[in-house]
A and B are shown apart, each in its own frame.
Chain A
Amino acid sequence: MLGEGMLKGLAETAKNFAGSFVSKGRLTTVQYPEQRIAPIENTRDFPFLIFDGDDAMAGLRCVACQICEKECPPKCIYITKSADKKPDYVGKAQFYPTRFDIDISVCMSCQICVEVCPFEAIKMDTEFELSTTDRFGGLLLDREQLAKSNEYYNTIHPTEAAEVDARLAEEKAKTEAKAKAAAEAAAAKAASAAAASTAAAIEAPKTKELGV
């Protein structure tokens, strides 16, 4: 009969109209500034730089290897390598970025910089309320703005950060063991050569541990 299908449709919309008052599944809207959805752990938007310790600039993990700059698809990372070296998180002397800028008006949040980084130095943030009144300068973040602590990383991506930390700790332990072995070998060599006291051999790895 003509009109049957339309009546069925009207019944369907009426059901939805009534349902939107009672059922959460039908009215999924969230009143954004007042209400927020629980953050999803894997969410990514723009990259940030991780630092260890308290001093953001001294603790940056980035060694200015410029792989991310090269691999970035929209080419929005700008790095200047330092002339001098400074010790990195495992204690090795490394270059560091004197300039590390990301133009997040160009960045497309693809996460490729994170994947290519061999030093776990750049990660994806979940902060999305980044509007500024300055179209160019305000969206060009420098290394001071980009640097965020490892603790922050642990709070936004707990699972991923735990993995990363475990990996780094393992790496660090390996390096330390190697350094220790090297120091012991050196000490043994020194001992046999100069027949000095054994105290020096014990002191040496301790200074290494402090990360001087």
Chain B
Amino acid sequence: MSFFPFLDQIFVLLQHWIAGLFPVWLQPFVGTVVAVIGIVAAFPGIFAVTTVLERKGLGRIQNRIGPNRVGPMGLLQPVADGIKSLTKEDIVPLSADAVVHFLAPVLLVVAVFLGFAVLPVGRNMVLANFDAGLLFFFAIGASTELSIFMAGWSSRNKYSLLGAMRAVAQMISYEVPLLLSSVVVVMITGSLSTVKIVEAQGGFTGIFPHWYVFTPWGFAGFVLFVIAALAETNRSPFDLPEGESELVAGYFTEYSGFKFALFFLGEYLGMFSIAGFAITLFLGGWGAPFSFLTFVPSWAWFFLKLLGSIAFFIWLRGTMPRLRQDQLMNFAWKFMLPMTLLNLVVAGSWRFFGDGWLRWVICSAVLLAAYVLLGRTLMRKQHLGPRSYRYAD
């Protein structure tokens, strides 16, 4: 085996080697455990890197330096944060429902980790390759809402309750466009399996890959998916459930110490898993962006893309103000839903038209026209728009 394919499969070979140390009847079990350990180690590791990258990136966006005191260039900041949150007092409000209050962050982290099971992070690197992978992911993703509501309700704090109400309303509303925007991929690929979706995007035309994002319906679907994903993960500009200027900290107002850290972890892991799915569905998963770069290990591409999308999320956070609850709902039902439905039709006709440049023109024109019209109508209806001002001398 030459060097690059070996590097590409290094983690798979490692897993097989470890499993091979055990008796045959135990091998499938050990293999799974090793893979689980891999996931449980890798993604929190990325979480640690992300927290420091986010703070430094936001700092740079805001013309600050960001954390730079712990370790070289502040890179050990997550360690300090971890020690701090572990040693802080764990406060449970007197009137809180202690059991639910404890279970909420645990449930969040567990549910979020389950989502990684069907995420292909590299060639042959998926924990559970089953046919309904996409369905499994959305089913698991929906259960995080429960833990957020548990947290908000059990805290017995009015801000927590408001935050939880917002979170549930928001997340349920955005499930719909999130699902519908990914259905186009299933329509074209003809499979719910995440591995098959990635493989379907594996070819190249010239040096450019066949990623779905480079088609009109794929691009629209990608944008809609990212917007819905931001709302699903409570990231800015849809971070109303935490809304620190309005609701103190939303549903985790009453959490401190390590439970707070768990919420923090859960939120970021949720972000990773949904960004990973955006990559899988639209950005070719672990595929290389150019045909001459295919020698680079597949898992490296996946994590590079993941870091890129996280950087994009940070960039958005550094720029956008926050929406309001009713506007968020309006946006979901009056903009996202029509657009995703239209995108389904467009994707269907894309298939129907067959090859040729005509389908490119028609599909792009329909989507663009719908976007412009819908956006303009929404703004007009609410009397929003630029204004001019008069002066008195």
Most chain B CB within a 10 A radius of its CB, from A14, A19, A20: A20
Q: Can you list 17 contacts pairing A with B, beta carbon distance less than 8 Å? A: A2-B374, A2-B375, A9-B319, A9-B320, A10-B315, A10-B319, A13-B318, A13-B319, A16-B60, A16-B63, A17-B57, A19-B63, A20-B61, A20-B64, A27-B63, A27-B64, A31-B68
Cα distance A20–B56 in the bound complex, in angstroms? 11
Q: Which residue of A lies closest to B379 (CB)?
A: A2
A21 within 8 A of B: yes
Known: A6-B320, A20-B60. 11 other contacts (CB 8 A): A2-B375, A2-B378, A2-B379, A3-B375, A10-B316, A14-B315, A16-B61, A20-B64, A27-B64, A27-B65, A28-B63
B294 within 8 A of A: no
Hey, which chain B residues are within 8 Å of A29, CB to CB?
64-65
Q: Which residue of B lies closest to A26 (CB)?
A: B63
A1 within 8 A of B: yes
Q: Which residue of B lies closest to A3 (CB)?
A: B375
Q: Taking chain A's interface residues, is the majority helix, strand, or loop, or is none over half, making it mixed? A: helix
Most chain B CB within a 10 A radius of its CB, from A2, A19, A26, A29: A2
CB of B63 within 8 A of CB of A20, answer yes
Most chain B CB within a 10 A radius of its CB, from A1, A12, A19: A1
Enumerate chain A interface residues (CB-CB to B < 8 A). 1-3, 6, 9-10, 12-14, 16-17, 19-21, 26-29, 31
CB contact under 8 A between A13 and B315, given known A27-B63, A29-B65: yes
Cα distance A27–B318 in the bound complex, in angstroms? 16
Cα distance A9–B57 in the bound complex, in angstroms? 16
Top 10 closest pairs, chain A to chain B, by CB:
A2-B375, A13-B319, A20-B60, A9-B319, A17-B61, A13-B61, A17-B60, A26-B63, A20-B63, A29-B65
Hey, which chain A residues are within 8 Å of B376, CB to CB?
1-2
CB contact under 8 A between A21 and B60, given known A2-B376, A6-B320, A29-B65: yes
Hey, which chain B residues are within 8 Å of A14, CB to CB?
315
Cα distance A16–B64 in the bound complex, in angstroms? 10
Hey, which chain B residues are within 8 Å of A28, CB to CB?
63
Hey, which chain A residues are within 8 Å of B374, CB to CB?
2
Cα distance A14–B376 in the bound complex, in angstroms? 27
Most chain B CB within a 10 A radius of its CB, from A1, A9, A13: A13
Cα distance A43–B25 in the bound complex, in angstroms? 79
Hey, which chain A residues are within 8 Å of B62, CB to CB?
16
B313 within 8 A of A: no
B284 CB to closest chain A CB, in angstroms? 24
B253 CB to closest chain A CB, in angstroms? 29
B258 CB to closest chain A CB, in angstroms? 32
Hey, which chain A residues are within 8 Å of B61, CB to CB?
13, 16-17, 20
Residues of B60-89 contacting chain A, CB below 8 A: 60-65, 68
B372 within 8 A of A: yes
Cα distance A27–B65 in the bound complex, in angstroms? 8
Hey, which chain B residues are within 8 Å of A10, CB to CB?
315-316, 319
Cα distance A39–B371 in the bound complex, in angstroms? 57
CB of B60 within 8 A of CB of A6, answer no
Residues of B367-393 contacting chain A, CB below 8 A: 371-372, 374-376, 378-379
Most chain A CB within a 10 A radius of its CB, from B63, B315, B320, B376: B63
Hey, which chain B residues are within 8 Å of A3, CB to CB?
375
A13 CB to closest chain B CB, in angstroms? 5
Hey, which chain A residues are within 8 Å of B64, CB to CB?
20, 27, 29
Hey, which chain B residues are within 8 Å of A13, CB to CB?
61, 315, 318-319
Most chain B CB within a 10 A radius of its CB, from A9, A21, A28: A9
Hey, which chain B residues are within 8 Å of A20, CB to CB?
60-61, 63-64
Most chain A CB within a 10 A radius of its CB, from B60, B62, B315: B60
Cα distance A85–B318 in the bound complex, in angstroms? 67
Q: Which residue of B lies closest to A15 (CB)?
A: B61
Q: Which residue of B lies closest to A5 (CB)?
A: B386
B224 CB to closest chain A CB, in angstroms? 12
Hey, which chain A residues are within 8 Å of B378, CB to CB?
2
Q: Which residue of A lies closest to B316 (CB)?
A: A10
Q: Which residue of A lies closest to B59 (CB)?
A: A20
Q: Which residue of A lies closest to B223 (CB)?
A: A3
Q: Which residue of B lies closest to A4 (CB)?
A: B375
B324 CB to closest chain A CB, in angstroms? 16
Cα distance A21–B375 in the bound complex, in angstroms? 36
CB of B63 within 8 A of CB of A6, answer no
A147 CB to closest chain B CB, in angstroms? 37
Cα distance A20–B315 in the bound complex, in angstroms? 14
Most chain B CB within a 10 A radius of its CB, from A3, A12, A17: A17
Hey, which chain B residues are within 8 Å of A1, CB to CB?
371-372, 375-376
Hey, which chain B residues are within 8 Å of A17, CB to CB?
57, 60-61, 315, 318
